[in-house]
Structure 1
Amino acid sequence: MIKSNPFFSSTFIKIWHRHFNTEKPLYSFDFIKNISFYKPRSFPLFINSGKNLTKGVSYSLDDESAATDFKSKCFLIYDVPKFFNVKTNSGNKNLKVKKAKQYPGFLIHLDKHKDFNTYFKSTFSKSSVQKFRRYNRRLEHCFSITYKMYYGEIDKKEYDFVFSYFNKLLTKRFDDKQITNNNLNPEEWNFYYDVVYPLILEKKASLFVVYNDGIPITVRLNYFSEDIIFDAITVFDIDYSKFHIGKISIMKILEWAFDNDFKTFDFTKGYFDYKESWSDLKYDFEYHIYYDSKSVTAALIANYLYLFFKLKQSLREKDINTKLHKALFFLKNNKSSNANSYHIKPIINSKDFEPEKTQEIDINSTENTFLRKIVFDYLYTSSENLKHINLYKCKTASNSYILAGKKDSQLITHS
């Protein structure tokens, strides 16, 4: 059992039920401890509160055979990390369990390392460590960068500001990938918005934000138990991808985790390359299905659920889920890829840049945001600072722009 599981907190449970289980009762049972359930349908199936929006459920069974309130019932418990080492043997021979392996999980044992630098150097090669630090220095050189961990307190106005950018960045990221993201479904997003604020005040959640000149460019939502950080949702502004701000964000949150004596950093469920490279343990998430083996109905429900989740995992391993999310994206958005191509080259001929034939423009205005990634990529390669950059639109060619820096000027054209 983990101590102070944030997904069992009264705040998390109360807000989850308000969003997803309105006016339906909450159930607890003597045979299983530290977990509550809801009953979604008329047949005898009970599902753990929080369902699949938790990042790790732990519980314990009654060691004695006296608790029999599972009779004629089936219970589904989502997202039990294998590393929690939950004991599933019951004192009652009629209570059976099926375990359906689902998503992979990844974590770092922070307590195996003295500090962040020790961990960093033991996990990555010397050249990779130097490269990551160079990304960090370059980002801070080219922009006005600040870092902020909201943990224990946050002004509500600031919270709303960060959360609005959180949504914008996620939408932008997945529009670019052209796949759907369940977190952005209105019912899920509204739940996150409502639950995270009070959990931050209770030190059961945090938002870690990287700002450029006061604007969020990466946001991480984390949950906290007594000594575990659960990395729940993370996103970065893809316009800054040249700077590898995803890696920088991980570096900074891990530095904070070490400084605050957390023992484990859990990247939680779902496979991404970066999780595997930063972690020192890969584990499985399981769905646990308990049922009364003496009940034909409960046994049928349990077997159906087990086979259903086994099929889902088989399709997931064949990457069918990614293809499905891509198909859903096109159905919902009715979009096709119409990306224009852009070219950038140094200005050698002074005739290419005649001030009277240009008009200065703001890179942050809505109509010019498509130029941001081009300019930011240039900043990375030239090691210039954004405040020394001026951007101009050519009056004589609607598809041409001038990027003027301290060191040189570039002609940008798009087709």
Structure 2
Amino acid sequence: MIKTNPFTSTTFCSIWSKHFLDDREPRSFNFIKNISFYQSKIPGLYINSGRNLTKGLNLELGESSTELEKGKTFLIYDVIDFESNNQAVEKTDMGHYAIRQYPGYLIDLSSFKSLDDYLSKTFKKSSRYKLRKYKKRLEESFNISFKAYCGDMSQNEYDSIFSSFRNLLEKRFAEKQISNNNLDKEEWDFYKDVAHPMILEKKAVLFVMYNNDEPISVTLGYLSKSRIFDAITVFDIDFTKFHLGSIKIMYLIDWCVKNGWHTLDFSKGHFDYKTRWANKQFDFYYHIWFDKKSLKARAISYSLKLFFTLKQVLRERKVNDILHRFTYRLKNKEEQKAQYAFEENGPDCTKVPLEELNLKSNENELFKRVCYDFLYLFPENESNIKIFRLANHESLYLIKGKEKESFVRLIQ
């Protein structure tokens, strides 16, 4: 059972209502506890507050249905905790469908004493060696720090991090060339509006990994009594060679264990990293409850059941991935990605004028990844790296560290 569910909290529901309900008032009903509903555009259909922006609801049945539920149909998204037995369903005097939708993944940390304990009991020796090597290489090459914001965070700092958060997401999905609903204005505005007050209430947390003072990984999590729901997460793709995604999870696990959080919930949807790190899998269901005596309610509920069953079949056949790529191409012009290669041989640099590039300039964004790939090949610290443009040698550059140097050619 999810205790003190953040997605049924007053703050979450009230801010969600402000963004999405268009002055419609949420209502409570007797047959279910702790969940409010709003009237959808389909007469007689009520949908849970939060809709599909919750990351997991638990259902607790209330009293038997009353006149309030008469003739109505209720749709509840993303249920992960409900004992669906005949006795419980019959208690409501209502009809009921539960349609499996997404897989969910989590790490149960209750039996682990530390990050090393978790790694030693989860991964083979060779995998543990690689993970520790990635983390060591990253921390040797950059000035890495990790901070969890929970309970105290200024508005200015919050706004700055959320701006970086969005930039990293846009950069990540531009590379993947798929659309991401989190970046839709309506949805993003809600996340930005709801997270800060919930952080102050200790019902949400922002995990930020920094390189110097620049965020390179951000995770928004919601907090239950002992469970962290990973809602949105991203890392800077310029650090891909350093396996930053895996390192971020190591930092999260370490923080959870040290601070007494027993469950790190990766939420809904299948990704390879989830199957690699999680030690438990579960399913998200959409629940439909309806007045069995109403022909209209039975028709609506059965139509919803067919719709979501078909949607799941299409999802399992990866049709949604094709759709996300298609919608991305409709909204964005396809950009030609610049390619580059390291070369050992080049002109005598003592005879060629060199112009140092400002790696903090937006126009030199590509060279940040060049720099980081160089650091992965030749372990040094970022502070020692410089990149130069070679006069009269189009598309050829020189990258220099304290110990190593290499030519870099841009390939159009």
- Fold equivalence (TM over 0.5): yes
What is the letter of the counterpart of residue 187 of structure 1? E
Find the residue that maps to 1:282 and give its secondary structure.
strand
Q: Percent identity?
A: 45
Instruction: Provide the rounded CA distance (Å) in 2 between the counterparts of 1:408 and 1:32.
Output: 66
- What is the Cα deviation at residue 375 of structure 1? 1.4
Map 1:94-243 onto structure 2 (within 5 A): 94-243=93-242
Instruction: Provide the rounded CA distance (Å) in 1 between the counterparts of 2:360 and 2:239.
Output: 14
Find the residue that maps to 1:138 and give its secondary structure.
helix
Partner of residue 397 from structure 1, selected from 393, 397, 400: 393
Find the residue that maps to 2:306 and give its secondary structure.
helix
1:414 maps onto 2:407 in alignment: no
Q: Which residue of 2 aligns with 1:342?
A: 340
CA contact (8 A) 2:384 2:402 kept: yes
* Cα 1:352–1:293 shift into 2, 3 Å: farther
- What is the Cα deviation at residue 334 of structure 1? 2.9
1:324 maps onto 2:317 in alignment: no
Find the residue that maps to 2:146 and give its secondary structure.
strand
What is the letter of the counterpart of residue 343 of structure 1? A
Partner of residue 358 from structure 1, selected from 334, 354, 368: 354
- What is the Cα deviation at residue 66 of structure 1? 6.2
What is the letter of the counterpart of residue 124 of structure 1? F
CA contact (8 A) 1:389 1:406 kept: yes
Q: What do residues 181-206 of structure 1 show as CA deviations (whole Å, max 9, x unaligned)?
A: 00000000000000000000111111
Q: What do residues 31-61 of structure 1 show as CA deviations (whole Å, max 9, x unaligned)?
A: 1111000112251000000000000011211
Instruction: Provide the rounded CA distance (Å) in 1 between the counterparts of 2:90 and 2:68.
Output: 13
1:376 maps onto 2:375 in alignment: no
Q: What do residues 73-103 of structure 1 show as CA deviations (whole Å, max 9, x unaligned)?
A: 0000000015x54668234574011011101
Q: What do residues 332-355 of structure 1 show as CA deviations (whole Å, max 9, x unaligned)?
A: 1132x52232111124x6x43236
Instruction: Provide the rounded CA distance (Å) in 2 between the counterparts of 1:29 and 1:160.
Output: 37
* Cα 1:369–1:278 shift into 2, 3 Å: same
Q: CA RMSD, aligned part only?
A: 1.6
Instruction: Provide the rounded CA distance (Å) in 2 between the counterparts of 1:87 and 1:210.
Output: 44
TM-score for both structures, normalised by structure 1: 0.95
- What is the Cα deviation at residue 356 of structure 1? 4.8
What is the letter of the counterpart of residue 193 of structure 1? K
Instruction: Provide the rounded CA distance (Å) in 2 between the counterparts of 1:272 and 1:302.
Output: 31
Find the residue that maps to 1:195 and give its secondary structure.
helix
CA contact (8 A) 1:105 1:284 kept: yes
Q: Which residue of 2 aligns with 1:304?
A: 303
1:25 maps onto 2:25 in alignment: yes
Q: What do residues 97-127 of structure 1 show as CA deviations (whole Å, max 9, x unaligned)?
A: 1011101000111113233322211111111
CA contact (8 A) 2:30 2:64 kept: no
Instruction: Provide the rounded CA distance (Å) in 1 between the counterparts of 2:361 and 2:174.
Output: 20
Instruction: Provide the rounded CA distance (Å) in 2 between the counterparts of 1:411 and 1:47.
Output: 59
What is the letter of the counterpart of residue 21 of structure 1? L
Q: What do residues 328-383 of structure 1 show as CA deviations (whole Å, max 9, x unaligned)?
A: 00001132x52232111124x6x432365211111121111112212101101110
Aligned residue-pair number: 410
Q: Which residue of 2 aligns with 1:333?
A: 332
Q: Which moved more, 1:211-220 or 1:124-133?
A: 124-133
- What is the Cα deviation at residue 68 of structure 1? 4.6
Instruction: Provide the rounded CA distance (Å) in 2 between the counterparts of 1:93 and 1:391.
Output: 69
* Cα 1:362–1:41 shift into 2, 3 Å: same
